[in-house]
Amino acid sequence: MSQTFQGVIPPVVTPLTESGDFDIASFERSLNHMIDAGVHALFILGSSGEVVFSTDERRREIIEATMSIVAGRVPVLVGCIDTQTNRVIEHARVAAELGADAIVATAPFYALGGMAEIEQHFRLIRAAVDLPLFAYDIPVCVHVKLPVDMLIRLGRDGVIDGVKDSSGDDVSFRFLVQDNEAAGRPLTLLTGHEVVVDGAYMSGADGCVPGLGNIDPAAYVRQWNAYQAGDWETVRTEQDRLAKLMRIATVTSGVTGYGAGVGSFKTALALMGIFTSNRMPEPVVALSGDNVTAIEKILRENDIL
Amino acid sequence: MSQTFQGVIPPVVTPLTESGDFDIASFERSLNHMIDAGVHALFILGSSGEVVFSTDERRREIIEATMSIVAGRVPVLVGCIDTQTNRVIEHARVAAELGADAIVATAPFYALGGMAEIEQHFRLIRAAVDLPLFAYDIPVCVHVKLPVDMLIRLGRDGVIDGVKDSSGDDVSFRFLVQDNEAAGRPLTLLTGHEVVVDGAYMSGADGCVPGLGNIDPAAYVRQWNAYQAGDWETVRTEQDRLAKLMRIATVTSGVTGYGAGVGSFKTALALMGIFTSNRMPEPVVALSGDNVTAIEKILRENDIL
Amino acid sequence: MSQTFQGVIPPVVTPLTESGDFDIASFERSLNHMIDAGVHALFILGSSGEVVFSTDERRREIIEATMSIVAGRVPVLVGCIDTQTNRVIEHARVAAELGADAIVATAPFYALGGMAEIEQHFRLIRAAVDLPLFAYDIPVCVHVKLPVDMLIRLGRDGVIDGVKDSSGDDVSFRFLVQDNEAAGRPLTLLTGHEVVVDGAYMSGADGCVPGLGNIDPAAYVRQWNAYQAGDWETVRTEQDRLAKLMRIATVTSGVTGYGAGVGSFKTALALMGIFTSNRMPEPVVALSGDNVTAIEKILRENDIL
Amino acid sequence: MSQTFQGVIPPVVTPLTESGDFDIASFERSLNHMIDAGVHALFILGSSGEVVFSTDERRREIIEATMSIVAGRVPVLVGCIDTQTNRVIEHARVAAELGADAIVATAPFYALGGMAEIEQHFRLIRAAVDLPLFAYDIPVCVHVKLPVDMLIRLGRDGVIDGVKDSSGDDVSFRFLVQDNEAAGRPLTLLTGHEVVVDGAYMSGADGCVPGLGNIDPAAYVRQWNAYQAGDWETVRTEQDRLAKLMRIATVTSGVTGYGAGVGSFKTALALMGIFTSNRMPEPVVALSGDNVTAIEKILRENDIL
């Protein structure tokens, strides 16, 4: 496996203007903020990148802006998230056409199926589009966990090139790392859990996809470098600080799920002057009032402001 | 409430050719089979109509064919099923443009949210498209149940005109009927559970949306007429026979979910000569071998063949 | 199958004194209230009978009081609800020793298992205790649904004599009734959903186990008699009124689950003068204030007070 | 917080004879195997200790044997697992009477409740029994997650002394550790996930409760000592080997849940000559044939045999 997709790969949050348009100026500031901090790649149109809120036109707009702004400085992974195979393939073809370096797809969702359909789904995407393919394991959204043995088989068969693990199942993740090792490392294995990246590194992860990396990319890069150097104490210390910073996502009240999580990231980025607005996609309402104050306090306590 | 959307409204199964194209000739036979049997409306692009498997182009193709074939004989409801608000509104606008009589939308899915977002979702769809709007309550697919009090509030406020209840929660459905009655009947209430329509009629349902109505629409029409006439013994007797016929969806082995459910409907329609193929959308595999034989046997036992 | 366990069989709510002791005087009033109304049997130590809150000593106390008060007027079913087989068998032996007419057991819970363990569980109970055995299907509490084919097999093999269905899955219930019919009716099939008993009767249920039958047993008896006479309009009318009365369990605020459900039954029984207190078992708090007022209002509207 | 309950605290597996009796000779070998390896305490009657399969008499038998065999060499925590408060308190009183050093209780289960009932449950246990109390967070069994803020509040109020975290939610665990630190460390925090103890140590855990510690207690002790010394490379290396050894619990086929997990532990202990039988409690069947062979192979590969 090449090292192209190893290291710190933030799932890029998408800025909107107050009127709900895509805010390309804020987007450029944000991408540069991350690239300048040394992140190793960028993952756009992930769950945090409001992919499922975005129309096809909006998705295209975001990919085009990214390719133009990044201009080859780092690889770009593009989320092709949709309900079932043929819709995902359409997104994947657009991503390929626009220059994506890799695509990311979840298990199919909404319609009920079994493991045979999930495996066939990835095989069909692979057959349709000639780009590195990451399986995105996110049971909280698609309501099924990708089994370790299927992932390894898909890796051995050259169907998928890696896994973005947002399963929250660290036991399964460790078994995945070990089985991947035993299989000759066909897969690049990334953790999506920004609060416990140190644990994933202990398990042997190849990198992380931290939403919080939009806010403090430099800390995740320092942590990665410490990991590469075997400096576990720094890995842990950086993580502890980042876990404190992550409280921006749990300090809000009266809001749940996406509105609290990505809502807090957008609010932080607005407070930092990177975004011009913390506007959320319909039907989600932006954080306001005491929730903004509480987030600001945490940013100050952790030297972000 | 007008009676436009009352009675038997089958969710139309979408025929494919062996090569996976939309099979318009089979589709015409199928729609005529149902209209000739006396169904009161048709619901296309529902869960059984493989909406989430269909690209935007395929969805448009199905709507256009439907409007052309139906030609005003019965009203047409169009499922506008997608992950979040703006994507749903795009589909709704296409449906309106192509002449739909009503649209049907679920709660948003994939991204996590709360009840406030769901309510706002329906209000935004209402504001964007001027067509009767049905809320589609299908927790098995979207992983949230629409609460009775929200539905009644949306009805009172003129946001939604009805509910297609596929929740499987018959206790909640009875409370919904009673609260709708107390609110002056702003909502038309349809059950999606073809095996227990009699129970829903006991609760006071305004109609049914039976997938099995693709196979035997006449029986559901006879049951509806008996319901209107207060002939409960016939309501029950028809239901018992239909429940036996529904075993086509449970008799299969080695297949789960959509492949077994809609797969059995397609197989039955092929055996009946209405469809030319029981081909399923990617990544689902069509039923074959013993599963087909088992379905054929049930069709014979229930005088469909 | 004998008709011993057919008809209206309320799951008996257990009265406590203000200090938390078993209130035998209230219990006697309550049992007589139901027997005088014509119920066909009584089910003690069910979920509503606070079986899992009760120590072994308390369970024994309740069984003894029941057998003494009932004195053979109606059959008594005793819930033997506990985590795993050997604990259930202990309860079943006590029930047999004290004169129970039948025992009721759920699938094992807490430890994770598969269908093989559940089936073996019922077979071991059957082998240990020589009393009619009902399988209690209550996935909301034990987190697994008993499959229809397993229940029919256990019925054919003489392991279980009936099913108390609190699954909320009316589709499965209808299939169960049909398969039981095809198997020669080894099972007596009772529904536990007091709000939709009419639907279960349409499906062919042999009786009901309505918690609300503690409050208005006479209405369920009238409904049963109408069912036996084929008077479906009365079956439905009685059900509609009972559904309105059941709002005592949904009208409360700030309370969920058992505290709202059984809490409202106890509060109603206290308001009716049958119970002396609406005290709940630890750690559940009794309803008070506005919640009591709201329940009283519903009781008055439905002529219970 | 004293350090009494820090370090490696295996949840003790309970040996049975072929006829299903408690096998005290095997139990003695097993306890000594762990104590001799340097474990810091023992946790009996946990989920792995078949507490919910055990009658009250069997539970008493196990506690008595433990206190007699251990004879003060290490502290003993006793699981008091039952459905609701009063039943748990009965078990806790027995544990106190027989000399337990601490008790362990889960949230109440089976009956549905809310957070208020759970908090009250722990407060009532605390009031009834004067022993250190651990909250056992095990949503896979009780179907609710104990929230971090409730745990901290119960710690500050002197209600609970620690948490055994088997939630599998490592994000929540890190937040718990941080909040506990901020609150002055009222709680001792133990992880129950034997495959990722290294991640929990990175988060600052006070110890672990590894089922696999029945098989290889010495490795967990070496890992703990490395953790105390800041030797993270050893922490990780030991963990990787233990994760390989843990494959005994995933290598089986045709068995799920408890039968595979604890079943593999019992089988390993029998192969090691510590247990005389791998007999499981009713209704679970012991592993046999190829499953035993597969476990033996893993034990050999990891130098246990």
Mean per-residue pLDDT, C121-138: 98
Q: Which chains lie within 8 Å of chain A at 3 or more CB pairs, if any?
A: B, D
State the CB neighbour count (10 A cutoff) for residue A172: 21
Name the residue type at position A93: R
The tens-digit pLDDT sequence of chain D (305 residues) is: 456 899 999 999 999 999 999 999 999 999 999 999 999 999 999 999 999 999 999 999 999 999 999 999 999 999 999 999 999 999 999 999 999 999 999 999 999 999 999 999 999 999 999 999 999 999 999 999 999 999 999 999 999 999 999 999 999 999 999 999 999 999 999 999 999 999 999 999 999 999 999 999 999 999 999 999 999 999 999 999 999 999 999 999 999 899 999 999 999 999 999 999 999 999 999 999 999 999 999 999 999 99
Sheet with B162-165, side-by-side order of all strands: B7-8, B207-208, B188-191, B162-165, B133-137, B102-106, B76-79, B42-44
C54 touching D (Cβ < 8 Å): yes
Structure token pair of residue B160: 């939604």
Quote the strand ranges of C12-150, DSSP E: 42-44, 76-79, 102-106, 133-137
Residues of C in Cβ contact (< 8 Å) with D54: 86-87
Cα angle, residue D279 at apex, residues D274 and D283 outer, rounded to 5° = 150
C125 touching B (Cβ < 8 Å): no
The count of residues in chain A is 305
What are the pLDDT digits (tens) for B201-253? 999 999 999 999 999 999 999 999 999 999 999 999 999 999 999 999 999 99
| Residue spans of alpha helices (H) in D98-169 | 115-128, 139-142, 148-156
What are the pLDDT digits (tens) for A45-99? 999 999 999 999 999 999 999 999 999 999 999 999 999 999 999 999 999 999 9
- pLDDT for the residue D4: 86
What are the pLDDT digits (tens) for C256-279? 899 999 999 999 999 999 999 999
B26, HSE (Cβ side, Cα atoms, 13 Å) = 25
Structure token pair of residue B100: 């739909």
D166 touching C (Cβ < 8 Å): no
- C222 pLDDT above the threshold of 90: yes
- pLDDT for the residue A4: 86
CA proximity to D111, closest of C60, C94, C216, C106:
C106
Distance from CA of A251 to the nearest CA of D (A): 12
B109 touching A (Cβ < 8 Å): yes
Query: Average pLDDT of chain B?
Result: 97
The sign one gets for the Cα dihedral B109, B114, B116, B117 is negative
C21 touching D (Cβ < 8 Å): no
Residues 6+ positions from A228 with CB-CB distance below 8 Å: none
Crossing angle, helix D232-245 and helix D290-301, to 10 degrees?
A: 160
Burial class of residue B303 (count of CB atoms within 10 Å of its CB; 0-12, 13-18, 19+): exposed
CA proximity to C249, closest of C298, C200, C288, C216:
C298
The backbone torsions φ and ψ at residue C161, rounded to the nearest 5 degrees and listed phi first, read -105, -10
Query: Average pLDDT of chain A?
Result: 97
Mean per-residue pLDDT, A234-248: 98
Residues 6+ positions from D265 with CB-CB distance below 8 Å: D13, D48, D211, D212, D214, D215, D248, D249
A195 touching D (Cβ < 8 Å): yes
Residues of D in Cβ contact (< 8 Å) with A202: 196, 198-199, 202, 232, 235-236, 239
D196 touching A (Cβ < 8 Å): yes
Q: Please state, for a pLDDT cut of 90, what percent of chain B lies above it.
A: 98
Mean per-residue pLDDT, B86-99: 98
CA proximity to A210, closest of A299, A201, A202:
A201
What are the pLDDT digits (tens) for C35-89? 999 999 999 999 999 999 999 999 999 999 999 999 999 999 999 999 999 999 9
CB distance B240–C195 less than 8 Å? no
CB distance A108–B283 less than 8 Å? yes
A192 touching D (Cβ < 8 Å): no
CA–CA separation, C47 vs C50, rounded Å? 6
- B1 pLDDT above the threshold of 60: no
Residues 6+ positions from D257 with CB-CB distance below 8 Å: C111, C112, C113, C114, C117
CA–CA separation, B121 vs A130, rounded Å? 36
What are the pLDDT digits (tens) for C21-42? 999 999 999 999 999 999 999 9
B228 touching C (Cβ < 8 Å): no
Q: How confident is the model at residue B4 (pLDDT cuts 50, 70, 90)?
A: confident
Distance from CA of D211 to the nearest CA of C (A): 15
D22 touching C (Cβ < 8 Å): no
* Host H or E run for residue C265: helix C258-271
State the CB neighbour count (10 A cutoff) for residue D139: 15
Distance from CA of D237 to the nearest CA of A (A): 9
Q: Please state, for a pLDDT cut of 90, what percent of chain A lies above it.
A: 98
Mean per-residue pLDDT, B165-193: 98
CA–CA separation, B81 vs B95, rounded Å? 12
Mean per-residue pLDDT, B72-99: 98
CA–CA separation, D244 vs B270, rounded Å? 51
Cα angle, residue A18 at apex, residues A15 and A23 outer, rounded to 5° = 35
DSSP string covering B39-81, please? -S-EEESSGGGTGGGS-HHHHHHHHHHHHHHHTTSS-EEEE--
CB distance D257–C55 less than 8 Å? no
Structure token pair of residue D167: 């939630």
Place of tokens 């207190």: C277
Q: Which chains lie within 8 Å of chain B at 3 or more CB pairs, if any?
A: A, C
Place of tokens 């004989």: B73
Contacts 24+ apart (CB under 8 A), A15-19: A15/A266, A15/A269, A15/A275, A15/A276, A15/A277, A16/A277, A16/A279, A16/A280, A16/A281, A17/A276, A17/A277, A17/A279, A18/A276, A18/A277, A18/A279
Best residue in B140, B171, B179, B241 for a mutation probing chain C (most C CBs within 10 Å): B171
CA–CA separation, B36 vs B89, rounded Å? 33
C114 touching D (Cβ < 8 Å): yes
B202 touching A (Cβ < 8 Å): no
What are the pLDDT digits (tens) for B147-164? 999 999 999 999 999 999
B19 touching A (Cβ < 8 Å): no
CB distance A85–B53 less than 8 Å? yes
The backbone torsions φ and ψ at residue C117, rounded to the nearest 5 degrees and listed phi first, read -65, -40
CA proximity to C113, closest of A42, B108, D53:
D53
Mean per-residue pLDDT, B266-272: 98
Q: Which chains lie within 8 Å of chain C at 3 or more CB pairs, if any?
A: B, D
C96 touching D (Cβ < 8 Å): no
- pLDDT for the residue C4: 86
CB distance C175–B250 less than 8 Å? yes
Best residue in A284, A287, A288, A291 for a mutation probing chain B (most B CBs within 10 Å): A284
Best residue in A90, A115, A117 for a mutation probing chain B (most B CBs within 10 Å): A117
DSSP B287: P
Q: How confident is the model at residue B33 (pLDDT cuts 50, 70, 90)?
A: very high
Cis peptide before B217 (omega within 30 of 0): no
Residues of D in Cβ contact (< 8 Å) with A250: 175
- Give SS3 for A167: coil
Best residue in D166, D202, D233, D244 for a mutation probing chain A (most A CBs within 10 Å): D202
CB distance C202–B239 less than 8 Å? yes
Structure token pair of residue D87: 């039943």
**Rg of chain B in Å (alpha carbons):** 18
- pLDDT for the residue C1: 45
A93 touching D (Cβ < 8 Å): no
Q: Residues 233 to 292 of B: which have CB under 8 A from any C CB?
A: 233, 235-236, 239-240, 243-244, 247, 250
Residues 6+ positions from B14 with CB-CB distance below 8 Å: B22, B27, B44, B49, B50, B54, B62, B281
ipTM over the 0.95 cut-off: yes
The count of residues in chain C is 305
| Residue spans of alpha helices (H) in chain D | 24-36, 56-70, 85-97, 115-128, 139-142, 148-156, 170-182, 197-203, 217-229, 232-245, 258-271, 290-301
Best residue in C284, C287, C291 for a mutation probing chain D (most D CBs within 10 Å): C284
CA–CA separation, B74 vs B65, rounded Å? 14
Residue C113, Ramachandran bin (φ over 0: left; ψ between -120 and 50: alpha; else beta): beta
Cis peptide before D283 (omega within 30 of 0): yes
Contact D44, D79 (CB under 8 A): yes
Closest residue in C to B195 (Cα) is C171
Whole-structure pTM value: 0.97
CA proximity to B217, closest of B80, B4, B13, B63:
B13
CA proximity to A92, closest of A46, A125, A62:
A125
Q: Which residues pair with C11 in a beta bridge?
A: C43
Distance from CA of B138 to the nearest CA of A (A): 10
CB distance B195–C175 less than 8 Å? yes
Burial class of residue C96 (count of CB atoms within 10 Å of its CB; 0-12, 13-18, 19+): middle
- A2 pLDDT above the threshold of 60: no
